[in-house]
């Protein structure tokens, strides 16, 4: 059988070892007499899984005790609404840096909830190929918080820890596509969220990391119970029926990350993978990687031949070589190779071999 690689941006590739373990454990557990998808979210077995997953995430990201960690449903998109509902309660004003589609979408969601949304800067006119800068005269006191997307999954620009906007106010980050892929200082943020399906596990679970004293300051009159972070924190992510399977799988992924050496080791590997691909693209006369170098994503590598119709054909051709899901997001076209934690270096090598062959044939 041909070795195949999945470059999908999400749901994305999971560690092979985790898939194997899920297969092995999927049948009836000899103690509970049930499989993982049949157990109660109130069972001791599941409570232990949730507690362990939380503890492992705290360890991996060095999350202090004054932050709550919860596993929610509804994806990253529901966080676009929960955050404004829980935190834009005083001035009802949110500042955004428009670094890509998912920043813009979060802004639209907040606006529809009746919050005032200010886009401080946008790189949309230049196709989001660089990062918007926080204006010099930004007055953090005029807003409840500043919302950023650390890694722009579609367009491929990243606020790495060393180029985060420096605000004196509250900072909220959407880390959906690079959580645990590179180090971030959790204490630089007041809230962090990430949909599970990019780098943490399967779809169906979303992680939220919330600074508790900030939450305690809020007047949540009119906010329904499911939308309140506090309810999920108080009930250890079991306020209602939890996404049992997704959290179980996420817990296994966290075990895997720890066994690999944690976030620092993942970062080192991700740098090596991404640099190998960018280096090839940069010296190529056929492909270009358009994102500004200092902002380049480690997890979503965007490139093009400059001819979108040709890109499409090449992405299709790649499938015959076992390289799947290389087409860029439908809104931008071109190519996108997602190199999440679980993507092996062998995938990058296979991709480069293929791209070189195409270049030799078509350039
Ligand atoms: C995928 C993604 C989302 C949306 O996640 P859903 O789970 O589909 O709602 C939001 N933000 C970023 C950065 C993403 O990559």
Beta carbon of 100 within 6 Å of any ligand 1 atom:
no
Strands 335-338 and 300-303: antiparallel
How many C-beta atoms surround the C-beta of residue 169 within 10 A? Answer: 15
Spatial separation of the C-alpha atoms in residues 59 and 61, rounded to whole Å: 6
Question: What ranges in the chain are assigned the alpha helix state H?
Answer: 16-25, 44-61, 75-87, 101-112, 212-216, 229-234, 244-260, 262-283, 308-320, 345-362
Q: How far apart are CA 168 and CA 188, in angstroms?
A: 10
pLDDT in the model for residue 56: 98
Say whether pLDDT at 33 is over 90: no
What are φ and ψ of residue 70, in 5° steps?
-130, 150
**pLDDT at residue 225 in the model:** 98
Query: If pLDDT is split at 50, 70 and 90, which confidence band does 323 have?
Result: very high
Instruction: Using the mean position of ligand 1's atoms as its centre, give its distance from the Cα of residue 11 in Å.
Output: 10
Residue of minimum CA distance from atom 7 in ligand 1: 75
Q: Tens digit of pLDDT for each residue in 72-107?
A: 999 999 999 999 999 999 999 999 999 999 999 999
Is the pLDDT assigned to residue 279 strictly greater than 90? yes
Q: Percent of the chain beyond pLDDT 90? A: 93
Is the pLDDT score of 32 beyond 80? no
Q: Are 41 and 238 in contact (CB under 8 A)?
A: yes
CA torsion, ordered 136, 149, 118, 83, to nearest 10 deg: -130
Distance CA 186, CA 208 (A): 12
* Cα of 25 from ligand 1 centre, angstroms: 29
Residue 146: is its pLDDT beyond 80? yes
Cβ atoms of residues 8 and 326 within 8 Å: no
pTM of the model: 0.97
Alpha-carbon distances, residue 329 vs 10, 144, 153 (angstroms): 11, 32, 9
Q: How far is the CA of 353 from the centre of ligand 1 (A)?
A: 30
| Sequence-separated (6 or more) residues with CB below 8 Å from residue 234 | none
Asked if domains 20-259 and 262-362 share a fold, the reply is: no
Residue 5's φ and ψ, nearest 5 degrees, are: -130, 140
Share of the chain above pLDDT 70, in %: 100
Higher per-residue pLDDT: 17 or 24? 17
Beta strands in 136-218 (DSSP E): 145-149, 171-174, 191-195, 206-211
Fold of the domain built from segment(s) 20-259: 3.40.640
For the chain, which residues make up each domain, given as ranges? Answer: 20-259, 262-362
Which of 165, 110, 177 lies closest to 132 in space, CA to CA? 165
Task: Give which of 348, 329, 351 is closest to 155, Cα–Cα.
Answer: 329
Burial class (CB in 10 A: 0-12, 13-18, 19+), 314: buried
By C-alpha distance, which of 67, 36, 41 is closest to 54?
67
Say if residues 332 and 291 touch (Cβ distance below 8 Å). no
Strand partners, 343: none
Residue 164 predicted with pLDDT over 80: yes
In ligand 1, the atom with minimum distance to the C-alpha of 79 is 9
Q: Which CATH architecture has domain 262-362?
A: Alpha-Beta Complex (3.90)
CA distance 254 to 213: 27
Residue 310 in contact with residue 303, Cβ under 8 Å?
Answer: no
158 lines ligand 1 (CB under 6 A): no
Q: Is 218 annotated as a binding residue?
A: no
User: Does the annotation list 138 as a binding residue?
Assistant: no
Q: Is the pLDDT of residue 36 over 90?
A: no
Q: Ligand 1, from 108, 153, 200, 243: best to mutate by most atoms within 8 Å of Cβ?
A: 153
For residue 282, what pLDDT is reported? 98
The ligand 1 atom at the shortest distance from the C-alpha of residue 102 is 11
**Spatial separation of the C-alpha atoms in residues 10 and 87, rounded to whole Å:** 28
φ/ψ of 181, rounded to 5, equals -95, -25
């Amino acid at each position: 059988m041909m070795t195949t690689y999945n470059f999908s941006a999400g749901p994305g590739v999971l560690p092979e070892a985790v898939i194997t373990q899920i297969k092995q454990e999927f049948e009836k557990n000899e103690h509970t007499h049930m499989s993982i998808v049949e157990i109660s979210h109130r069972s001791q077995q599941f409570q232990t899984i949730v507690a362990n997953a939380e503890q492992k995430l705290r360890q991996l990201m060095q999350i202090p005790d004054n932050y709550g960690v919860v596993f929610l449903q509804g994806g990253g998109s529901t966080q676009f609404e929960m955050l404004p509902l829980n935190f834009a309660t005083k001035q009802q004003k949110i500042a955004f840096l428009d670094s890509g589609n998912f920043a813009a979408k979060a802004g639209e969601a907040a606006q529809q909830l009746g919050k005032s949304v200010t886009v401080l800067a946008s790189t949309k006119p230049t196709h989001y190929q660089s990062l918007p800068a926080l204006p010099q005269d930004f007055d953090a006191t005029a807003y409840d918080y500043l919302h950023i997307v650390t890694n722009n999954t579609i367009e491929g620009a990243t606020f790495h820890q060393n180029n985060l906007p420096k605000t004196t106010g509250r900072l909220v980050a959407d880390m959906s596509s690079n959580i645990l892929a590179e180090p971030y200082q959790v204490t630089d943020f007041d809230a962090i969220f990430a949909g599970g399906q990019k780098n943490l596990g399967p779809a169906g679970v979303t992680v939220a990391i919330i600074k508790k004293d900030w939450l305690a300051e809020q007047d949540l009159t009119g906010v329904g119970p499911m939308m309140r972070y506090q309810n999920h924190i108080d009930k250890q992510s079991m306020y209602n029926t939890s996404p049992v399977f997704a959290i179980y799988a996420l817990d296994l992924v966290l075990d895997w990350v720890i066994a690999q050496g944690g976030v620092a080791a993942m970062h080192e590997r991700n740098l090596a993978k991404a640099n190998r691909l960018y280096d090839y693209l940069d010296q190529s006369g056929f492909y270009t990687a358009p994102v500004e170098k200092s902002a380049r994503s480690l997890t979503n590598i965007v490139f093009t031949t400059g001819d979108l119709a040709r890109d499409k054909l090449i992405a299709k051709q790649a499938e015959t070589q076992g390289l799947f899901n290389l087409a860029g997001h439908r809104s931008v076209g071109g190519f996108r190779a997602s190199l999440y934690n679980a993507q092996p270096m062998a995938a990058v090598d296979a991709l480069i071999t293929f791209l070189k062959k195409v270049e030799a044939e078509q350039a």
